[in-house]
């Protein structure tokens, strides 16, 4: 991380801090969405970008995290500050189960990805049958009053959610920065690049892969809690849907897998473009369902064709920033 990178971060940080002062409600909601995807993308990146373990089922952790905190709040009035710990515990347990099955029995690559999809899918179906959490009809928590701020229960105006998302994204960025400099970062990248060689150098690959899954699932659990209290309604069909998982991973892939800026940049590019195009079409009087997905597909195709390592590595080179 050189001077230019720090300057860029500072500029970005100041811009994001003052944004709610100047932005209208719509812009703020888009910015919150970008930060949400930047954060979840960063969480996914720990597993795939750092450690090379492809998860296509990260909606699982968003969903479990969201339902855990929302359920506690809905039934017992227990706020998210307590709920988030249950969310993390459940998601880490789930991640550990997937990781154990896969790494113990040497399931890797696309087969590992399939396993993550399978877990997300059967959890989705399972949640359809949990009446306590609303089943397919959904779970609704009381909508926040926009003018009153209740930090304890995480209910408040949009700006509060925006700043919460900003804090998560910034925290994840710094956390991942230090992870990469640590023993774990070196070991994960070694495993990503060549697992056999990593093992020959004394790395207990099972243990370090499990750690990557644990950290990634715990981070994503927090995103789930945020999601629940921001949107106030949860449906298994939506939150566990594979398209959610895809949305999470598109940001880091387009921004640059394994880089720190990639997930943030990718989330911004995708959300802005997708929202922009939806707005543009609406302004022209066209409402085409699914146009966002088509657009995602096209952007992904272009990035893979022209920037196979994502936008950030190419941009970083231009800006004179290393990685």
Partner 1 sequence: MNFLEVEGISKSFRGLKAVANATFDVPSGAIVALIGPNGAGKTTCFNVIAGVFAPDSGKVIFKDKEIQGIRPDQVCAAGIGRTFQIVKPFAGLSVLDNVIVGALQRERSVASARVFSLSLLKKLKLDAKTDLPASSLTLPDRKRLEVARALATRPALLLLDEAMAGLRPTECDEMVGVFRDLNRADGLTILLIEHVMRAVMALAQKVVVLHHGEIIASGTPAEVVRDAAVLECYLGEETEV
Closest distance to partner 1 from the beta carbon of 258 (Å):
8
**Other Cβ atoms within 10 Å of 319 Cβ, number:** 13
d(CA 96, CA 41): 20
Closest distance to partner 1 from the beta carbon of 175 (Å):
17
Of 169 and 259, which CB lies nearer to partner 1 in the complex structure? 259
Of 146 and 207, which CB lies nearer to partner 1 in the complex structure? 207
Residue corresponding to tokens 């690559």? 109
Of 105 and 286, which CB lies nearer to partner 1 in the complex structure? 105
d(CA 9, CA 12): 5
Closest distance to partner 1 from the beta carbon of 100 (Å):
16
Closest distance to partner 1 from the beta carbon of 54 (Å):
16
Of 280 and 304, which CB lies nearer to partner 1 in the complex structure? 304
Of 77 and 202, which CB lies nearer to partner 1 in the complex structure? 202
Closest distance to partner 1 from the beta carbon of 319 (Å):
19
SS3 130: coil
Interface residues with partner 1 (CB under 8 A)? Answer: 181-183, 186-187, 189-190, 192-194, 196-205, 258
Of 53 and 245, which CB lies nearer to partner 1 in the complex structure? 53
| Cross-strand partners of 233 | 140
Closest distance to partner 1 from the beta carbon of 207 (Å):
9
The residue among 238, 269, 227, 277 whose CA lies nearest residue 252 is 269
Of 128 and 195, which CB lies nearer to partner 1 in the complex structure? 195
Output the DSSP codes for 233-268. EE-HHHHT-HHHHHHHHHHHHHH-TT-SSHHHHHHH
Q: Max Cα separation, the chain?
A: 62
Of 50 and 235, which CB lies nearer to partner 1 in the complex structure? 50
- Residue 286 region, left (φ>0) first, then alpha (ψ -120 to 50), else beta? beta
Closest distance to partner 1 from the beta carbon of 190 (Å):
4
Instruction: Kindly report the length of the chain.
Output: 323
Closest distance to partner 1 from the beta carbon of 188 (Å):
10
Write out 152-213 in H/E/C secondary structure. CCCECCHHHHHHHHHHHHHHHHHHHHHHHHCHHHHHHHHHHHCHHHHHHCCCCHHHHHHHHH
Residues 6+ apart with CB under 8 A from 74: 139, 140, 141
Of 11 and 182, which CB lies nearer to partner 1 in the complex structure? 182
Q: Is 22 exposed, middle or buried (0-12, 13-18, 19+ CB in 10 A)?
A: exposed
Closest distance to partner 1 from the beta carbon of 209 (Å):
12
State both tokens at 201: 């150098």
């Amino acid at each position: 991380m050189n001077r230019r990178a720090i300057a860029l971060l500072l500029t970005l940080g100041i811009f994001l801090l003052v944004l709610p002062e100047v932005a209208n409600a719509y812009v703020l909601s888009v910015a919150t969405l970008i930060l949400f995807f930047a954060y979840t993308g960063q969480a996914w990146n720990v597993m795939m970008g750092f450690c090379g373990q492809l998860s296509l089922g990260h909606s699982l952790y968003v969903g479990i995290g969201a339902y855990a905190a929302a359920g506690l709040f809905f039934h017992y009035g227990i706020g998210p500050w307590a709920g988030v710990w249950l969310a993390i515990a459940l998601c880490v347990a789930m991640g550990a189960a997937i990781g154990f099955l896969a790494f113990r029995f040497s399931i890797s690559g696309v087969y590992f990805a399939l396993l993550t999809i399978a877990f997300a899918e059967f959890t989705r179906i399972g949640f359809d049958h949990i009446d306590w959490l609303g089943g397919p009809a959904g779970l609704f928590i009381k909508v926040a009053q926009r003018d009153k701020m209740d930090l304890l229960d995480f209910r408040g105006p949009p700006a509060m959610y925006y700043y919460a998302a900003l804090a998560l994204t910034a925290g994840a960025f710094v956390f991942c920065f230090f992870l990469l400099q640590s023993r774990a970062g070196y070991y994960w990248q070694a495993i990503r690049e060549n697992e056999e060689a990593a093992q020959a150098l004394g790395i207990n690959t099972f243990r370090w892969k499990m750690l990557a899954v644990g950290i990634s699932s715990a981070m994503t659990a927090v995103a789930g809690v945020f999601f629940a209290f921001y949107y106030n309604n949860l449906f298994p069909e939506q939150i566990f849907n594979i398209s959610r998982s895809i949305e999470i991973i598109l940001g880091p892939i387009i921004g640059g897998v394994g880089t720190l800026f990639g997930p943030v940049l990718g989330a911004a590019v995708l959300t802005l473009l997708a929202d922009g195009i939806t707005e543009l079409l609406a302004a022209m009087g066209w409402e085409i369902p699914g146009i966002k997905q088509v657009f995602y597909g096209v952007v992904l195709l272009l990035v893979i064709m022209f920037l196979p390592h994502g936008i950030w590595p190419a941009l970083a080179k231009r800006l004179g920033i290393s990685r």
